[in-house]
Amino acid sequence: MSTINPKISPKVVSIFSGCGGLDYGFHTEGYDTVWANDFAEWACKSFAANFGNVIHYKDITKIDPYTDSTIPDCDVVLGGFPCQDFSIIWKQPGLNGTRGGLFRHFAEFVDAKKPKAFVAENVKGLITANGGKAIDTIIKDFESIAPGYVVKPHLYNFAEYGVPQFRERVLFVGVRIDTGFNFIHPKPSHGPNGEFPYVTAGEALEGVETVPTNNEHINIKDKTRRVLELIPEGGNFTDIPKDNPLYVKGMISHVYRRIKRDEPAKTIIAAGGGGTWGYHYPEPRPLTNRERARLQSFPDDFIFEGNITEVRRQIGNAVPPVGVQAVARRLLPLFTGDYEPIDLIPEYEKMKAMTVKQRLDYVTSQMD
């Protein structure tokens, strides 16, 4: 892994850390994760293998950031609070789900540590969960943390930031109002709206067969192989003729989805059952975990601990590191002092009066 620049090393407290995709994106820009937490044992082992023994394997509901003296002060709080209750792929209980309310623990960490900034990640479905009430509640909770945070959510497609995968995620960036730092989300660097072409799945997988770790081929049934042979490059189960004996009925587009080599891959997900692993082309087989990691923009020396299923889950749940590097870079002046402070109160009050849609549109209009 790259060496942290000792001159610019903002301290990060990371929660809902997973294997460390979000942290790695910030790490490559000079940030230093000093404390982390997750409740998935093997994800914690992967995190420790890459970042050192700073992660705590513990239920976050049992951690009190106000009284726990082992949690250091920090410059940034990072985290991707659990997304399953907001995902558009599955049912959407939203804030009423068993995991939807966990974002409040993220807010408690921000309140307890008062970082200069926080970055929270979640799925696109959060925008519509609970009829739009979920994201509105989350924004208001973040804004209300003293002394006040200017909260700017934006829907990213990480393919537009150099990730070889179409993956849409909401990033909330909050900046403490007394810093005077007016954060602006970075505009896309890749694709039709960027300076560079998309990074394709074919480019990402070039030479991957030489990587020795997490590259095991998965045994599949002969029937599954014959199903895949019916599906063209970039296709999925819908390409199988309905009168074919091998026709399968899928609920989501990920079922038997094969990569298309001249464009970014479709979203890599944590699930693997029911034909949702993600499939190679031209070879009729599931992608290896290292191939999935490449499509998630992890470097080949990133260590994943656990069996094939555990590693698959970690990769699918992760934030693509390359996708958040531009955000990490855009925040750096806040910590170096290389900016002209402004009065953020007018911006804060202006956005508080906006609807969620108005806020999203306003944030997008500011991008540069």
Our separate counts of H helices and E strands in the chain read 11, 7
Residue 15's beta-bridge partner residues? 37, 79
Per the domain annotation, does 188 fall within a domain?
yes
Per the domain annotation, does 247 fall within a domain?
no
Residue 90 has pLDDT above 80, yes or no: no
Q: How many domains does the chain have?
A: 1
Exposure of 193 by Cβ count < 10 A (0-12 exposed, 13-18 middle, 19+ buried)?
A: exposed
pTM summary value: 0.92
Residue 33 has pLDDT above 80, yes or no: yes
Residue 130 to residue 134: CA distance in whole angstroms: 6
CATH number of the domain that residue 152 is part of: 3.40.50.150
pLDDT at residue 7, as a whole number: 67
Per the domain annotation, does 313 fall within a domain?
no
Instruction: Give the closest residue to 49 by CA, choosing from 268, 314, 271.
Output: 314
Residue 363 has pLDDT above 80, yes or no: yes
Residue 166 to residue 263: CA distance in whole angstroms: 9
pLDDT tens for each residue of 106-123: 999 999 999 999 999 999
Provide the residue range defining the domain that includes 121. Answer: 11-195+319-366
pLDDT at residue 246, as a whole number: 95
Q: What is the mean pLDDT of the chain?
A: 92
Residue 25 to residue 298: CA distance in whole angstroms: 9
> Token pair 């937490």 is at which residue?
37
Residue 100 has pLDDT above 70, yes or no: no
pLDDT at residue 134, as a whole number: 87
Instruction: Give the closest residue to 149 by CA, choosing from 119, 110, 175.
Output: 175
- The pLDDT > 70 percentage for the chain reads 93
Per the domain annotation, does 93 fall within a domain?
yes
Per the domain annotation, does 276 fall within a domain?
no
Per the domain annotation, does 292 fall within a domain?
no
Q: Average pLDDT, stretch 141-162?
A: 97
Residue 23 has pLDDT above 80, yes or no: yes
Positions marked active-site: 83
- Residue scoring higher pLDDT (166 or 130): 166
Residue 18 to residue 39: CA distance in whole angstroms: 8
Per the domain annotation, does 294 fall within a domain?
no
**Range list of H helices, 205-265:** 222-229
Sequence-distant (≥ 6) Cβ neighbours of residue 350 within 8 angstroms: none
Residue 170 to residue 324: CA distance in whole angstroms: 11
Pairing of strands 149-157, 32-38: unpaired
pLDDT tens for each residue of 242-290: 999 999 887 788 899 999 999 999 999 998 888 999 999 999 999 999 9
Contact 218, 311 (CB under 8 A): no
Per the domain annotation, does 333 fall within a domain?
yes
pLDDT at residue 116, as a whole number: 98
pLDDT tens for each residue of 281-316: 999 999 999 999 999 999 999 999 999 999 999 999
